[in-house]
Amino acid sequence: MRTAPTILHLDMDAFYASAEQAAKPSLRGKAVVVGGLGPRGVVATASYEARRFGVHSAMPMGQARRLAPNAAYLVPRFGLYREVSEQVMGLLRQLSPLVEPLSLDEAFVDLEAGGVADDEASARAVGERLRADILRVTGLTGSVGLAVSKMLAKIASEEAKPDGLVLIPPGTERGRLGPMPVRVLPGVGPATGDHLRRAGITTVAEIAEAGEDELVRLLGKAHGGALYAMALARDERPVVAERDTKSVSVEDTYDVDIHDRVRVRMEVARLADRCVQRLRAAGHSGRTIVLKVRRFDFSTLTRSETLRGPTDDPAVVREAAARLLESVDTTGGVRLLGVGVSGLADFTQEDLFAQAHAVVQTESLAPGAEGEEAVAVPVDPVAGESGAVAGSGAGEAAGEPVAAAERRWPSGHDVRHAVHGPGWVQGSGLGRVTVRFETPDSAPGRVRTFRTDDPDLEPSDPLPLVVAEDGAAAAASGDGEDPGGAAPMAGGAAG
């Protein structure tokens, strides 16, 4: 392990909710919850004001509403979050070539590799400068941890929240870790924590005292050995700049089970198109098409078809997904659908659709079990296409015209009125949409209500959160896409 605290961990503070507060002056200092707003919705991020009521990420939205009934509940705007994330990651890459993003709002940086820090003083100075730069460019705050290893740097950034910096001096690691609960260590989830508690082990110091042999007996050779090493503050994992993407996938969870077979087919086609969009954006193609279906009884089925070569053709993926759907009984109702592509490559092979001898594999899973691993492109951590923000609904089928009266007005999304200018949707229903007219650099705005088919009201892209001195957007808006679900990245719930 290195001798200077030159591994930095950045974690943006309540990222999605903070971005919404920065964009909406009327919500600053108030409880904000971002996630799927349907009956099966899940909290993606809660502002610190909402957390005081007990609201936290991954909580069912219905429970959050009971705890904080007066909070603002908003549908995610992933286009905006990605743009802000790109600004932040750009600042990190100015520090070092070794930047390891974990999600949109979280990353490790090897400062030593960038030649910007080689001792405690220089590392702290870089961390403070980074926090100031993030605030200047995005208007948001982030917390920084500095230590000699990735594990310790992440623990330090958690201690620094919100809007702080914590540096763990070399040589103090074991004393700092000792009294902490076992759950602070990577890989110790609820099940492992309970198993250790039953053995009388509740703190990191007690893990070290138990010894490696006892940990191996309790947890197995690999897990027990790794946990013992971490309890001794040993972590040799390097910062890795690039990660191999195993697959690209999109999913939607529906507020109401879908029984209509035609509707199911349309949803699968729509998901296939969205999956190919992500595939192409990542510069990949893939050989294996995967369909995921979660039925009314929570049983999850996956079907996969392997082509003779990689493709990024939406027609090929649509047709393959449709063939896979034919082998699935959906008569009892469907609560979740997903389409993925794995076996990734950086080239394509033409005329795959003409190949009639694809290999088809089938897997049936017990109720509540997970399907094939679906590691999404690292763009929408937390809540993206995986259904982590469940209950946001499915949107219209690709290519299907939508009448003006049927336009959807997701809460929190941006609009522009021909007379009143830019604003955001505060709520909609019963043929009406309520809009608050304000911008990131204005005072809290007025609220007005319109018919949902008002020709003067149109959806729009988000405005920049910060305008640089030269008038250019420092943290610009996204692509205005439908946020129907969430991408299953690790660490996706914004801290």
Q: Which residues are part of the catalytic machinery?
A: 106
Please give the backbone phi and psi of residue 202, each rounded to the nearest 5 degrees, phi first: -125, -15
Cβ neighbours around 402 below 10 Å, total: 11
Alpha carbon distance 293, 303 (integer Å): 9
Q: Are 472 and 457 in contact (CB under 8 A)?
A: no
Task: Kindly report whether the peptide bond that precedes residue 97 is cis, defined as omega within 30 degrees of 0.
Answer: no
Residue 366 tokens read as 């017990």
Q: Please, which residues have CB within 8 angstroms of residue 207's CB and are 6 or more apart in sequence?
A: 182, 185, 196, 201, 215, 227, 228, 231
List strands edge to edge, sheet with 72-74.
43-46, 32-35, 72-74
User: Residue 294's closest CA among 194, 342, 364?
Assistant: 364
CA angle 429, 433, 434 (to 5 degrees): 120
User: Residue 279's closest CA among 389, 353, 356, 385?
Assistant: 385
CA angle 340, 39, 457 (to 5 degrees): 85
Alpha carbon distance 276, 115 (integer Å): 39
> What count of Cα atoms within 13 Å lies in the side-chain half-sphere of residue 213?
0
Beta strands in 138-222 (DSSP E): 142-147, 165-167
Q: What Cα–Cα distance (Å) separates residue 107 from each residue in 93, 175, 187, 194?
A: 11, 26, 18, 29
